Structure 1
Amino acid sequence: MTSVERESHVTVPAPPLPRLAGPWSAHVARAEGTDLDLVHGWMRSPHIEAFWHQAWPRERWAAEIAGHLAADAVLPALISLDGRPLAYIEVYRVSRDRLAGHYPYRPHDLGLHIAIGEASRTGQGLGRSLLRALAEGLLAADPACDRVVAEPDITNVPSVKAFTAAGFRPSGQLRLPEKTAALLIRPRRQEDMPR
């Protein structure tokens, strides 16, 4: 761990819940009950499993969510549209993630993973609207954050298109163990893009 990573881990708070305005709402996912049922069921859906590769048993998802909640690197959350659950997200601090080794991150950079739960609700423009709201909501929740980043698989064309339509800018490709990812960055200001 470099001195910058040590410093950011000590001084940078856990990832925040995005501040969303209606019709969107967010709450921290619970490792039990309906929240767990939704995440477990969604992750078994072919359109999500193809890229997340986490069609795990319910018990493993309970442990995964509980582990995130007990630490300060990843915040699991559920997003609803007009009160109806739509997506599972994970907000993470890049400084505490493997992504930190792949671009010149800043200590407050936030990363975002997203899975829209039901295949029938994809392909309608909801993803780009939600991603725009999430990026703005994360920047509002952490005024020290200059960038929200994502790293979808380059073969997940609908996801890459949704992120770019929501204002995320392409910033190269990354070779990760399980995928080649598009590094996409939503800067607070133009000058916040990496050079």
Structure 2
Amino acid sequence: MTRAGGLVKPVSHLDSYRKHATAGAPPVPELTDPWEARVARPDGYDLHLIHRWNQAPHVAAFWRQAWTLPRWEEQLRAQLNGDDARPLLISWHGRPVIYAEVYRAARSAVAGCYQARPHDLGLNLAVGELAMTDRGLVRSLLPRLTDALFEADPHCTRIVMEPDVRNTRAIKSFQAGGFMAADEIMLPNKVALLMARPR
């Protein structure tokens, strides 16, 4: 027990864990057929595909990352050279359909909105082609993807998402894929819905 401001406050093991523990780079999940995930490369086909997808109106409206090609190359290289995030291309039956970012929530802006633990993972997803939306891909992928992330990082106890509150289609897909809404939060570039899936 510690005394703060004249009040006795219990100290939990979780508080100590948050204070002292560290986590490495986010893991790359191993998915089973018909899904496959791999690290996105900052050049060639991957770079051009991610750049094109983020120019698409249905992605740009909520991600706000309709950047130039050099800016996307810089972004991907920075993620791959650091330990905070991993950019992924996720394929369905051999065809890339989803751009994803797996990140350490405790080292991102979302950590200012909830009590993030060092091994918490964050997840951003976008279906790149408009023609591939509304096919149930995300709700089918999410249970497999989150299970694979939990398996890849045994210390991770929850995964969070923070979609734009206006993106009701994505929010419904995330809920169908196992995520629960927690709270509306303010992030630097959007009002988001904090969603979580515990282990």
Distance 1:62 1:177 in 2: 22
Among 20, 34, 41, the alignment partner of 2:52 is: 41
Cα shift at 1:140: 1.2
Partner of 2:90: 79
Cα shift at 1:19: 2.0
Alignment of 1:79-98 (within 5 A): 79-98=90-109
SS of the equivalent of 1:64 reads helix
SS of the equivalent of 2:24 reads coil
- Gap runs ≥5 in structure 1: 189-195
Cα shift at 1:105: 1.6
Taking only aligned residues, the RMSD between alpha carbons, in angstroms, comes to 1.6
Among 152, 158, 162, the alignment partner of 1:147 is: 158
Normalising by the residue count of structure 2, what TM-score does the alignment of the two structures yield? 0.89
Distance 1:176 1:149 in 2: 14
Distance 2:188 2:47 in 1: 27
Partner of 2:138: 127
Aligned residue-pair number: 185
Partner of 1:164: 175
Q: Which has the higher mean CA deviation after the structures are superposed, 167-176 or 131-140?
A: 131-140
Partner of 1:182: 193
Partner of 1:14: 25
The alignment-based identity, stated in percent, is 48
> Is the contact made by 1:5 and 1:96 (CA closer than 8 Å) also made in structure 2?
no
Structure 1 stretches of 4+ with a deviation exceeding 4 A read 3-6
Distance 1:99 1:16 in 2: 19
Distance 2:142 2:68 in 1: 28
- Gap runs ≥5 in structure 2: 1-15
SS of the equivalent of 1:128 reads helix
Distance 1:31 1:78 in 2: 12
